Amino acid sequence: MAKKKIYEGKTKKLYETDNENELVIEFKNDVPCLDEESRITIRNKGAINNSISCHLFRYLSSYHITTHFIRQISNKEMLVKKLEMIPLQVITRNIASGNLVKRYGLEEGKELECPVIEFYLKSVQVEDPLINKDHIVAFGHASSDELKEIHRTSSKVNVILEDFFRRRKLRVIDFKLEFGRLGDRIVVGDELGFDNFTFLDLETNKKLSVESLSGEKEEMCKIYQKINELVMQ
């Protein structure tokens, strides 16, 4: 397949294909969220996140969630429908952790009365700030109806994935989705690899997320591998 690189982000590269409606997403081995100096790469991380993403996209499709996923084309690449991306990171939270704890002074690990869905603006000028629905509509990033659809889909995905991972002895503390437009439809885009999740390991009671790993390569490798094995069960 002929490919032309059109974008390189922190963890993925995008390529145009012969078909203008499709893109190839290649997963890199770089670990996100670390400062530039301590930037590290992990062998097989790209392949593992691709494998987890492809599996979860297929799983969501079986529950009639519309996603951009077409098929896995190699160990590090998936073929997707090209979307007009909405510049938001949509975080769904079931348990208080990280950011939420710092911002509202909650107790780490507190079970939330109901899931909380938050929007963060993806921005190069400012550091991805929390943003509310009025801002999003007023700034022209998405319409009110589109936001309702994003909210509804995030809630559904949460129920589906919570159950999926609970059967694998992991609680979903929180996870991130990105959405885009395909014609007049709102579609789940981007990826669903380990970097998008914070889990509670129900066997060890330890938090598992990219941020909570020590930065020690061997340990990180093992965690990525463990999550992949659980997903594939």
Q: Both ends of the chain: CA-CA distance in Å?
A: 31
Half-sphere exposure of 155 (CA within 13 A, CB side): 9
In the sheet with 77-81, reading across from the earlier edge strand, the strands are 4-8, 12-16, 22-27, 77-81, 69-72
For ligand ADP, the closer CB: 52 or 96: 52
167 touches ligand ADP (CB under 6 A)? no
178 touches ligand ADP (CB under 6 A)? yes
Residue 192 CB, nearest approach to ligand ADP (Å): 11
For ligand ADP, the closer CB: 83 or 96: 83
For ligand ADP, the closer CB: 3 or 81: 81
193 touches ligand ADP (CB under 6 A)? no
Whose tokens are 């107790």? That residue is 107
The CA distance from 45 to 197, in Å, is: 15
174 touches ligand ADP (CB under 6 A)? no
Q: Is 162 exposed, middle or buried (0-12, 13-18, 19+ CB in 10 A)?
A: middle
177 touches ligand ADP (CB under 6 A)? no
> For ligand ADP, which residue of 24, 46, 53, 68 counts as binding (CB under 6 A)?
68
Range 3-62, binding ligand ADP (CB under 6 A) = 9-12, 14, 23
For ligand ADP, the closer CB: 83 or 192: 83
Nearest residue to ligand ADP on Cβ basis: 9
Phi then psi for 229, rounded to 5 degrees? -60, -40
Q: Is 201 exposed, middle or buried (0-12, 13-18, 19+ CB in 10 A)?
A: middle
For ligand ADP, the closer CB: 31 or 83: 83
Span of 38-46, 80-88, 145-153, 216-224 interacting with ligand ADP by CB under 6 A: 80-88
Contacting positions for ligand ADP (CB under 6 A): 9-12, 14, 23, 68, 80-83, 85, 178, 180, 189-190
